[in-house]
Amino acid sequence: MLKRRVYSLILGLFCVFAFTSCSDKMGYSIVLWSVPEHNLNDGDVVPVYIKSNISQVYVVGTEGSDEKFEIPLWQLTEPTSKGKAQKAFETTFSEYQHQYARVKLDGLPVRESPDNIAKQVYRLRKDEVIKVLYKGEGSPVGSGSNALEGDWLRVLTSDGTMGWCFSYNLDLFDIRDRVEESTTILTGTDEKDVLLETVLSKTWYHESYLKMIRDEIFNLAELEKKYSFDTGAVSGTVNLHAPNGLDYQGAYQGVTKTGQNYVFTGTPLSMTIRNENNIVIYYSDNLGKRTAINFTVIEEGLDEYIQKERDRRAFLFSELMVLGPSYKSSSYGTLTFGENNTFFWEGFNLLQPSVLPSSFGNSGTVSFEYYLGSSLSDRYDGVITFYSNTGGKGVSFLFQLEQGGLRLEDTSGARFDDNVVVSRSSSPIVIFLSN
Rounded CA-CA distance 281/261 in Å is 10
pLDDT score recorded for residue 145: 65
Extract the residue ranges of the chain whose pLDDT is less than 70. Answer: 1-23, 37, 143-145, 178-193, 259
Spatial contact of 399 and 383, defined as CB atoms under 8 Å apart: yes
* Whether 253 and 316 share a structural domain: no
Q: Is 153 helix (H, G, I), strand (E, B) or coil?
A: strand
**Is 181 part of a structural domain of the chain?**
no
**Is 268 part of a structural domain of the chain?**
yes
29 CB neighbour count, 10 Å cutoff: 25
pLDDT score recorded for residue 149: 86
* Whether 118 and 69 share a structural domain: no
Rounded CA-CA distance 388/358 in Å is 11
* Whether 148 and 118 share a structural domain: yes
The enclosing domain of 61 has a CATH number of 2.30.30
Among 79, 106, 122, the domain-final residue is: 79
According to DSSP, the β-strands at 371-372 and 382-388 are unpaired
Rounded CA-CA distance 171/285 in Å is 39
DSSP string across 297-321: --TT-SHHHHHHHHHHHHHHHHHHH
* Whether 18 and 139 share a structural domain: no
pLDDT score recorded for residue 77: 95
**Is 396 part of a structural domain of the chain?**
yes
Spatial contact of 314 and 336, defined as CB atoms under 8 Å apart: no
Domain hosting 43: range is 6-79
**Is 85 part of a structural domain of the chain?**
no
**Is 362 part of a structural domain of the chain?**
yes
**Is 92 part of a structural domain of the chain?**
no
Rounded CA-CA distance 209/225 in Å is 11
pLDDT score recorded for residue 25: 87
Rounded CA-CA distance 276/186 in Å is 13
DSSP state of 373: -
DSSP string across 24-50: --SEEEEBSS-BGGGTB-TT-EEEEEE
pLDDT score recorded for residue 39: 78
* Whether 153 and 223 share a structural domain: no
Residue 414's H or E segment, with its range, is: none
- Count of domains forming the chain: 4
* Whether 412 and 345 share a structural domain: yes
* Whether 147 and 267 share a structural domain: no
Among 51, 79, 107, the domain-final residue is: 79
273 CB neighbour count, 10 Å cutoff: 18
Among 28, 45, 79, the domain-final residue is: 79
Rounded to two decimals, the pTM is 0.58
Strand order in the sheet with 152-156: 120-123, 109-111, 162-166, 152-156, 129-136, 99-103, 170-174
How many residues are recorded in the chain? Answer: 435
**Is 248 part of a structural domain of the chain?**
yes
